[in-house]
Amino acid sequence: MTETNIIEMTGVQKRFGKFMAVNDLTLNLREGEFFSLLGPSGCGKTTALRMIAGFQEPTKGQISIDGQDMQGIASNQRPTNMVFQSYAIFPHLNVGNNVAYGLRNRGISKSEIDQRVADALEMVELDGLQSRGATELSGGQRQRVALARALIMRPKVLLLDEPLSALDKKLREQMQFEMRRLQRSLGITFVMVTHDQYEAMTMSDRIGVMFEGKLVQVDEPATLYAKPSNQDVASFIGEMNFLPAQVTDEKDGSLVISTPCFDGMKIEKNPNATTSGANILVGIRPEQLEIAVEKPDGYDATFQGIVSDVAFYGENVHYHVRVDGVEKPIAASVPNYFHTVDFRQGDTVWIGVHSASVIALRQDEK
Ligand SMILES: Nc1ncnc2c1ncn2[C@@H]1O[C@H](COP(=O)(O)OP(=O)(O)OP(=O)(O)O)[C@@H](O)[C@H]1O
């Protein structure tokens, strides 16, 4: 990845009648990065991707790719190529002809086409399958053909619209790693749309999270998880406990807070969230809480509650703990490996929390 921007979107808007599908989107994508647009169904991510591809014109704003303003430039004249959700490969053509499709009628010699088809198939690990019929392929192979067909055009940017959603879970996970590896080795910018947080987290250099047409946060996966800017992002990416908190003091990048569970805890300000005012919201990830029979040592705060629910997930055990004065039960997740004590519904337990696990969140006006 370089520091050069390959795509620059400035104040991009898309309205369908009165409905604002994409609202004031400003976003720069870097050359060679794997970027994902993540968000719930209907948040506008596909519309944003389609505007980059040139399938839809923005109602307002500007998109430039590789330094060139894209207004009025047809999709087939853009340095982009798109892989669709339902990898639309032609059933009546064999693999080789499917992959070569975009190179036909362009005055390219047969020998060059054959070489580029062979190279593209090698990239997606389908070497030598040129003459295989499209209907004789598995779902994963078909998706690779769709990728090879896009890559053979040597786009500067590959656009991927939920490319793995038609595959079953195991194959999807395998393809996630393969596509990531392919993207790294080619150094092409990939822009993927997905509603699957795990997919976005495992594959991307950076993720842009969208809600209701707006880009809410852009960050690397680990930062998005550790420092979400608001409650929407925090609950869309993984699970999080939310507590109302009062800021009782504020200095040198720290907030002193009091919550229904603990008082006087000093936490770091969240650089992604402007938390001004006395009443904020804090978040704590379930896996960052300790749950114990005896009051645990070494924590910045401890409090008691009663187990209201236990769910066994295999790799971890998930507890819900009711705490006086807190509306929703607190979720605590314990890896099975460390899981030496079994708690049952109705047990009284202690919870331990480190101040570093308590994240200040922005409370957006709804
Ligand atoms: N051509 C269109 N005409 C009218 N409304 C549209 C059109 N295309 C999209 N929309 C609306 O714009 C909103 C955003 O759609 P978009 O497809 O971008 O969402 P998305 O986040 O990609 O969702 P999904 O994951 O379900 O595809 C939706 O409410 C959708 O109904």
Distance CA 304, CA 326 (A): 12
Distance CA 238, CA 206 (A): 16
Domains of the chain: 5-231 (3.40.50.300), 232-361 (2.40.50.100)
Interval between CA 260 and ligand 1 midpoint (Å): 40
pLDDT digits (tens, 9 = 90+) for 124-138: 888 989 999 988 888
pLDDT for 141 equals: 87
Interval between CA 76 and ligand 1 midpoint (Å): 22
Q: Which residues contact 352 (CB under 8 A, 6 or more apart)?
A: 289, 290, 291, 292, 296, 298, 299, 301, 302
Output the pTM of the full model.
Answer: 0.89
pLDDT digits (tens, 9 = 90+) for 55-69: 999 999 999 999 999
Distance CA 341, CA 347 (A): 12
- Residue 366: pLDDT band by 50, 70, 90 thresholds? very low
Nearest CA to ligand 1 atom 1: 16
Distance CA 211, CA 233 (A): 9
pLDDT digits (tens, 9 = 90+) for 246-302: 999 988 889 999 999 999 999 999 888 877 778 899 999 999 999 999 999 999 999
Query: Is the minimum distance from the CB of 194 to ligand 1 under 6 angstroms?
Result: no
Helix or strand holding residue 240 (H, E): none
- Residues 23, 214: contact at Cβ < 8 Å? yes
pLDDT digits (tens, 9 = 90+) for 167-180: 788 888 888 998 89
Q: Model ipTM?
A: 0.94
Distance CA 255, CA 182 (A): 44
Q: Which of 25-39, 85-99, 103-117, 352-366 is modeled with the greatest confidence?
A: 25-39
pLDDT digits (tens, 9 = 90+) for 99-113: 999 888 788 899 999
Query: Is the minimum distance from the CB of 94 to ligand 1 under 6 angstroms?
Result: no
Interval between CA 51 and ligand 1 midpoint (Å): 12
Interval between CA 269 and ligand 1 midpoint (Å): 36
Nearest CA to ligand 1 atom 12: 21
pLDDT for 91 equals: 86
Q: Is the pLDDT of residue 222 over 50?
A: yes
Nearest CA to ligand 1 atom 11: 21
